Amino acid sequence: MNGYKNSIPNNIKGFATNKFWSDLKKEKFMYQTCDDCGSPIFYARVVCPDCMSENLSWNEAIGRGKIYSFTVIHRTSLPGYKEDVPYAVGLIDLEEGIRVMGNIIGWDAPETLRIEQNVSVTYKRVSDEFTFPVFSVVEEEKSNEY
């Protein structure tokens, strides 16, 4: 399980989120849309937060997005995370119009991260029951500037 040693809350799953968590194990990032008003919805809910409709559908996200905001954690008081610092946590705007929070991986130094940087979802299996979405920095093509 990738050596994941930190505790996972027992109540992380619920009626509205079971499909989200089960599809993450299949490496699918799911979000909802409202069948009545068309709004994209994340996190999973039982009614649309825009129009209160109960007519919601599940969709698979492409998984591409941009960093909206981030922070780099350099110190932790939690023993299970001491080996992980520094690590980055960010808000990611996915192409589908939803904003999600997750760890950002694939960077060499904290100063290389930037707002609007391209990322793509990848998956970290942490137990038999849980797979977490994380966001990997996408290497951008070098321009041929002279």
pTM over 0.95: no
Backbone dihedral region for residue 98 (phi beyond 0: left; psi -120 to 50: alpha; all else: beta): beta
Segment 21-47 shows an average pLDDT of 96
pLDDT recorded at residue 78: 82
User: Could you tell me the pLDDT band of residue 146, with boundaries at 50, 70 and 90?
Assistant: very low
Phi, psi of 110 (to 5 degrees): -55, -35
H or E stretch at 23? helix 18-24
**In order of start, what are the domains of the chain with their CATH numbers?**
14-60 (no CATH), 62-138 (2.40.50.840)
Q: How confident is the model at residue 140 (pLDDT cuts 50, 70, 90)?
A: confident
